[in-house]
């Protein structure tokens, strides 16, 4: 008999203590019936860290984390916290609470706060600063403990600010080697010391020009050769949101020896097409055992607007199209995964 797809996941940013009740309802009354068995909660610095309260920028507490962890365990859902590492330390020139507390960690301190795309996308912390990892490791450890987690997702998507010419520590360094250095240091701490699994977004490890992707879901800055410099037991979440004829990164990353988790967003048909192509590629590359399901990402989602989208109760908020799309995609993808088991026997 065939086995069901092992990873049926949903991801969302979450940092609001006052929204915990809504999220609990989403978990119990939507995710569980749909068959979701992995929930990735992107807390970032929105968690109330006791180890470094100066970097906390949200209201999610340790008690909230334990409450959500207990509910997920009760229903057989693996809860994995996400801490965005390296990139996405703010938006435009605006810095997040970590870089505001430690401006010396900023890779691009010369960029003004009011900078906007396309002049500048978002800040990174400096991977070469000697004091950044000890702090980051404390944050990682606290999230793992609070959520009683056996894995951590380290983000690392859309890193544009790296090896900046103005950084006294990183200027002139090879971007791929610098990115891989950061990945390997996080891996050594999480897998080597803490004995938990590590996940990350795959986009910086993909040659965008060579595979026909954009600068968002692939890399155009010379970071992608890092794919050959990092451990193969990191789960790579390979996200693509646009409808394309094929998604060659899945087969490429499988050939490199990674477990690849295709990840979609708010377009149901594009997501289903991506899944079918990923299955085809995994079969072609004889690696179905390393393409274990699909992850639906819930960017823009909150507990409150998901309640509105999934149950028709309350306010969808300003981003109504995206929230409806996320809810529809979640239903479509989980129906597809639950309708038939994996071809792996």
Provide the Cα torsion 318, 319, 324, 326; round to 10°. -140
Q: Are 162 and 123 in contact (CB under 8 A)?
A: no
Nearest to 47 by CA among 57, 37, 35, 39: 57
pLDDT at position 4 is 58
Half-sphere exposure of 306 (CA within 13 A, CB side): 31
pTM score > 0.75 for this model?
yes
Mean pLDDT per segment of 10 residues, for the chain of length 345 residues?
74 98 98 98 98 97 98 98 98 97 98 96 98 98 98 98 97 98 98 98 98 97 98 98 96 98 97 97 95 96 96 86 94 92 50
CATH topology of domain 7-83+133-161+175-339: TIM Barrel (3.20.20)
Chain centroid to CA 87: how far? 12
CA–CA separation, 300 and 318 (whole Å): 10
> Omega of the bond prior to 310 within 30 degrees of 0, cis?
no
Q: Are 282 and 288 in contact (CB under 8 A)?
A: yes
Domain ranges of the chain: 7-83+133-161+175-339
Q: What are phi and psi of 170, to 5 degrees?
A: -110, -15
DSSP letters, 201-262, are E-GGGSBHHHHT--TTTSB-SS-GGGGGSS-TTSEEEEE--S--S--THHHHHHHTT-EEEE
pLDDT at position 238 is 98
pLDDT at position 317 is 81
3-class secondary-structure state, position 136 = helix
């Amino acid at each position: 008999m065939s086995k069901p797809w092992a990873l049926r996941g949903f991801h969302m940013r979450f940092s609001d203590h006052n929204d915990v009740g809504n999220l609990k309802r989403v978990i119990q009354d939507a995710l569980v019936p749909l068959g979701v068995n992995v929930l990735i909660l992107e807390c970032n610095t929105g968690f109330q860290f006791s180890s470094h309260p100066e970097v906390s920028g949200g209201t999610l507490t340790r008690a909230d984390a334990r409450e959500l962890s207990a509910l997920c365990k009760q229903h057989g859902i693996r809860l994995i916290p996400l801490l965005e590492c390296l990139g996405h330390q703010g938006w435009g020139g605006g810095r997040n609470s970590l870089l505001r507390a430690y401006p010396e960690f900023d890779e691009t301190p010369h960029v003004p706060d009011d900078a906007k795309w396309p002049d500048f996308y978002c800040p990174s912390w400096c991977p070469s600063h000697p004091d950044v990892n000890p702090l980051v490791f404390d944050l990682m450890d606290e999230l793992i403990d609070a959520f009683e987690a056996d894995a951590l997702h380290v983000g690392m998507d859309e890193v544009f600010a790296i090896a900046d010419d103005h950084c006294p520590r990183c200027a002139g360094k090879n971007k791929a080697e610098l990115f891989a250095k950061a990945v390997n240091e996080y891996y050594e701490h999480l897998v080597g010391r803490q004995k938990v699994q590590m996940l990350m977004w795959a986009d910086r490890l993909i040659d965008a020009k060579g595979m026909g992707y954009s600068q968002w879901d692939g890399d155009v800055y010379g970071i992608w050769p890092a794919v050959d410099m990092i451990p193969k037991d990191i789960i790579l979440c390979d996200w693509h949101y646009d409808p394309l004829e094929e998604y060659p990164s899945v087969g490429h990353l499988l050939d490199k020896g990674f477990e690849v988790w295709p990840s979609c967003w708010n377009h149901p048909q594009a997501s289903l097409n991506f899944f079918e192509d990923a299955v085809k590629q995994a079969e072609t590359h004889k690696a179905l055992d390393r393409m274990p399901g699909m992850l639906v990402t819930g960017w823009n989602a909150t507990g409150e607007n998901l309640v509105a989208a999934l149950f028709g109760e309350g306010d969808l908020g300003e981003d109504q199209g995206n929230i409806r799309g996320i809810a529809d995609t979640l239903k479509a993808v989980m129906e597809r995964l639950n309708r038939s088991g994996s071809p792996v026997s």
